[in-house]
Amino acid sequence: MHVVYPGSFDPFTNGHLDVVRRASRLFDKVTVAVLHNPNKLSSFMFSVGERMQIIRASVADMDNVEVDAFDGLLADYMRARGARIIVKGLRAVSDYEYELQMAHLNRQLNPEVETLFILAATRWSFISSSMIKEIARHGGDVSRFVPEPTLKALNAHFGRSGEG
């Protein structure tokens, strides 16, 4: 069965990687679908291409995972890809409230689509992309929160060398 894990992934964290890894053990094929929203280009740290490159490098050991980009409605992307299951990671109750609304909307827009939630592993449940960006922006060490390809991209973005 083919599932889609959509998101902006700006940047891709160990929490994201954990969801991908767990989904890849449950399903035959996982597509990590990177959101391309031209209306929000200024709010993204990395371009769609950069995010896709980071994710591909991070999931290189998983043969059944592919990385793609999409814009527009996720329900339409699912239809075009012939996929019927959306996978989303949940960290907290606040995530659930938002994702529940999105799941209902996607089901209304494409009745063939189901949304499955994977609970974040406890050790990653407090990590968000926006927090990682903020810590990295101020020179903090994010090496334990992101995969190596993300760390390298963050260091390059902020003109730093080294691991942390």
- What residues are labeled active site? 16, 40, 91, 129
Q: Hey, what are 141's tokens?
A: 């060490």
Q: Residues marked as binding for ATP?
A: 8-9, 16, 89-91, 99, 124-130
Write the Ramachandran bin of 162: left for phi over 0, alpha for psi from -120 to 50, otherwise beta: left
Give the count of alpha carbons within 13 A of 8, CB side only. 14
Q: Determine the angle formed by the axes of helices 129-137 and 148-157, rounding to 10 degrees.
A: 50
Q: Residues marked as binding?
A: 8-9, 16, 40, 74, 88-91, 99, 124-130
The CA angle 2-4-7, to the nearest 5 degrees, is 170
Q: Hey, what are 40's tokens?
A: 């929000």
CA 164 to chain CA mean position, Å: 22
